[in-house]
Each structure stands twice: as structure tokens, then as C-alpha cells.
Chains A and B, each alone.
Chain A
Amino acid sequence: MSALKIVCAGFGGQGVLSMGQLVAMMAMKKGYQVSWMPSYGPEMRGGTANCHVVIDKDPIASPIITDGIDVLLAMNQPSLTKFLPHMNPKGTLIANASMVKTDAVPKGITINSVDFTAIAQEVGNLKVQNMAALGTVVAKLPIFEENDGLAIIEEKFGAKAPDLNALNKAAFTKAYHQ
């Protein structure tokens, strides 16, 4: 396996940084080498917050992804605009359906358009849209299984926010099976 390069991007507040952390933690528990790198440069209001997650069997060369994104999670339109030119032409796009138009995405890229915002609203709290996104990421990445996602959500948030955690898991499961 060569390095699997994942970029998670969205508005600040959509939870993409912590979602990316969960992806890295899951892969670490499966014995992979992982790195997680946040964007910490100045960002425009209305622009994107993002993190780069690299998963590899071998030691990771660079935690910063400039090109060849294998999996892009775009929670909003500016994220797609910013990272689409840097995608692997055979990569996978996971898009937040209600906020991201995917018309301009070239053939060759697999598009998974799921309405994470709607799932979060159905479950009852907009905050958990990142866990819905995690559900689709786990469903689309062959290295993970459903239980990996549920276990990591429990580990990360179980003690910290028990009330919200049921919603986290509900959003995750709903998106995973969609």
C-alpha cells in the first residue's frame, strides 16, 4: 500500500478537524502509521478549515498533502473548489450534498454525495454532522469496519459528552448505511 492521503475540509465549526483525528486514531489502532496535520495558517471568513490525514504501512514521509488527494471530504463548496484541483484523478470525493454541487467534478473521481446536514438535523443536533461524515468515510474506506467507527466515537466522546454521544452514533450509523 502506498500512502493513503485524506483531506477533510469545511467551514470552521463543522467539526472537520476532530473528524480527521478520529480517522487517524482508527487507523493507528489498526496498526498503520498515521499523521494528522491541521491547517493553521490564516483562513478567510467563509473559507475552509481543513486537516490532512496520511495513513501508510511504512513510515510517513510528509504529513502535508499538496497533491494526489485520495479521499476528499468536502463539507462545503469552498472546500471542493480549493482541493478538487489537487485530487488523485481516480480518487474518492465525499460531499455534503446540501452544500456542495459536484457538477464540475471530472469523470474518474468517485462521487459519494450524502446530506450530512440533513442527517444531523434528523438526529436532532447540527453539531453531529461530522460524525455523519465519519460514517460515510468509514463505509467507503476498505481498511475500516462499522465497529471501528462506533468504538472510536465511544472512546473519544463517551465520557466527555455522554448525552451528545448517542446522537453521534446515530448520525454515524445513519450515514454509514446510506
Chain B
Amino acid sequence: MAKILMKGNEAIAQAAVSAGCEAFFGYPITPQNELIEYMAKYLAKNNGVFVQAESELAAINMVYGAAGAGARVMTSSSSPGIALKQEGISYCAGAELPVVIVSVSRGGPGLGGILPSQADYNQATRGGGNGDYKVMVLAPNGVQEATELVRKAFELAEKYRNPVMVMADGIIGQMMEPVEINPEPLPPVDRPWAAEGQRGRAQRNVVNSMNLDAYKLEQHNRDLQAKYERMEREDVMYETVQTDDADVLLVAYGTPSRIVKSAIATLREQGIKAGLFRPKTLLPFPSKQLKAAAQGKQFVLVAELSLGQMLVDVKLAIEGTVPVHFYGRTGGVIFEPSEIVDAVKSHRKGD
């Protein structure tokens, strides 16, 4: 199949529909509006359900309802909108519902701006909902990978019965790149827990996150933790580029990692051996793999479109074995490869 030129937001939506997404609930916000627009246009035609909800809160609770009834379901938003969905995300995690959330992040805090940013790393990986819950977070580096990871997100959500977030940024949302979307729907998954009618069962299924028995709730939390540990064992994703012979290890994710790759090429032309470690899963974070990749390096430099959020996870992973430095731009400003080159040089001994 020939590649077609598609805007990230539309490509993500098409990939979700192709993967078998049956229902979408959302509320408009820049820079992810084309995603909702695409869903409005095409989901109903593909026998799906589309609702433009009255608010982000309503949308995430509709997602809860549809997932509870056994549908393959998704919502999307951008930074302030994702903030509004946090309560619902915690409820989905508590009720162990497979849902996919796409976050096309922009500059903050507050209403912030509408240009691309990665200042929602903490929002995605720590979350703002209550309780000991975790959401899997996947971070694509371009339009093609965004379509692959949104498909993967449905698979993982169903494997773990857990919310999975695809964290894109305004660049992925708005840019067009050549893309080839997998047209095969994912196989249907058994959902014996779904509230879809009694269907001959002795008892009705109930989808709920409330449990007033302390011992039972503690056990539920232990089960959830076991699931999160399994994610770390089985589904960590990352990419390494020229890390083996490198003296300096750069860590970046999402589209900025491509800018860092280009900086690495320049650095190598100048005789400085740099390599890239790119987490594709922000949660579970590839901590062990990163620590191993960083061993023996002069230093690690984390580059983000924020003022230092993934930085904390990098430091936790490396456990002080190698010095960790940081370079970031924020508010919608995108760094240039030359800025990364300069940042690396500024930390080199003797330069």
C-alpha cells in the first residue's frame, strides 16, 4: 500500500477506527480538534458511536460507561482538557476498564498556550486522580509511530484492563507526514466482566470502583500493583541509537527526540560520540534499560520541551551512577539541533 500524506490528528483517529474503536467521546480543544472532527465524520459510518460531550468530564465518564458495557472506546484532548478528565481516569483505573486516551499536549500551566509542549509528562505519568493507580503512557515520535502506538494502546488496554494514554504533542497533532495505517481490526477480546446484561449468568456484572471493605480494597490495590509490575516486565518499549560507543548519552522522547538525533549526527561529525536513549513507554519507564545504557558514559543529558519532568525519572533510573544534566525549552518554543549541540559541549570536560 502506498503511503499517504496525513495530519497526525487525522491519522491517529483513522488508526483507532481501523483497529476497531467502536465509540468516541470528546470535547474540542486545540491542537487536537481534527481528531474529533475525523471521528465525527467517520466513526458513525463504521458502525460506531460518536458523541461530542458537553464537557471533558462528561466525555471521560461516557468512556467509563461505554467501556463498562464492553465497547472498545477512546477519548482525546489536550493539556487543560486532560486535567479535567483526571477524576474519570482514576475511576477507570479503579474499575479496571480498558480505555484509550490520546493527549495532544500544549503549553501550560493553566490555559497556557496552544503550541507544542511536553510539560504534561507529570500529568500523564503521575496523574491527578486519587488513589494508588497507574496509567500506561506511550510516546510516539511522529505521525507513523502515533498510528502504530494508538493501535498498540488498544491491545495493551485490553491485555491489562487498564487505561492507556498515547501522549502526542502539538507537533504530531498538526503536522502532516507520509503514513501507512494498518487496516486490520484487532481481534475481539472476551469481556466476561462487562455489564452487558445478565446473559444467563447467576449474577449481574457490576462495574464499580467503590469498595468499603478495607481488606478487600487493600487486596484490590495489591492486585493492581501486581498488574503494574507485569507491565514493567512485559511491555517496556524504548529505542537506542548509537549508544554502545557513545561517551555522552542523550535522553529524549516524542518528536523532540528527532531533533536530538539530528544533533547527535552533528556532534559525531565534530568528533563527539553521542547516542540517544528514547523511551517509547513513559510508564512503565525503561529504568533498568536506561541505567544499563548510561553505564560508563561521561554524562547523561536529558532534553525535553519542559523545564525538567522526565528528568526526575531519568535520575531515579540512573541512581546517581552517572551525572545527569538537562536542557529544555517550554511554552511552545521548540529547540534547534544547534542548542542541543551547544548544551552537550558546555558539559564536556576540557571543551
Task: Using CB atoms and an 8 Å cutoff, list the residues of chain A in contact with chain B.
Answer: 21, 24-25, 28, 33-38, 40-42, 59-64, 66-67
Contacts and interface: CB of A to CB of B under 8 A. Distances in A.
B21 to A, nearest CB: 25
Given A28-B5, A41-B115, A64 B176 contact: no
Nearest to A66: B336
Contacts of B237: none
Given A21-B5, A62-B334, A64-B334, A34 B258 contact: no
A62 B258 contact: yes
B148 interface: no
Given A59-B258, A67-B336, A35 B175 contact: yes
Given A61-B261, A62-B258, A63-B171, A24 B5 contact: yes
Interface string B1-34: 0010100000000000000000000000011000
B95 to A, nearest CB: 36
B259 A61 contact: yes
Nearest to A51: B176
A34 B258 CA distance: 14
23 contacts: A25-B5, A28-B5, A34-B5, A35-B177, A36-B177, A37-B171, A37-B174, A37-B175, A37-B176, A40-B30, A40-B115, A40-B174, A42-B114, A59-B258, A60-B258, A61-B258, A61-B262, A62-B334, A62-B336, A62-B337, A63-B171, A64-B334, A67-B336
Given A41-B115, A61-B337, A24 B176 contact: yes
Nearest to A22: B5
A40 B258 contact: no
A40 B106 CA distance: 12
A118 to B, nearest CB: 31
Contacts of B262: 61-62
B109 interface: no
Of B31, B176, B334, which is in contact with the most chain A CB atoms at under 10 Å from its CB? B176
Contacts of B296: none
Contacts of B175: 35-37, 63
A33 B176 CA distance: 11
Contacts of B261: 59, 61
A36 B171 contact: no
B183 interface: no
Q: What are the nearest 9 A-B pairs in CB distance?
A: A61-B262, A36-B176, A37-B175, A63-B175, A62-B259, A61-B258, A28-B178, A64-B334, A25-B5
A64 B171 contact: yes
Centre residue among B113, B178, B255 by max chain A CB count within 10 A: B178
Contacts of A24: 5, 176
Contacts of A41: 113-115, 332
A127 B135 CA distance: 49
B168 to A, nearest CB: 13
A7 to B, nearest CB: 14
A40 B114 CA distance: 8
Interface in B176-223: 176-178
B82 to A, nearest CB: 19
Contacts of A33: 178
A25 B3 CA distance: 10
A171 to B, nearest CB: 22
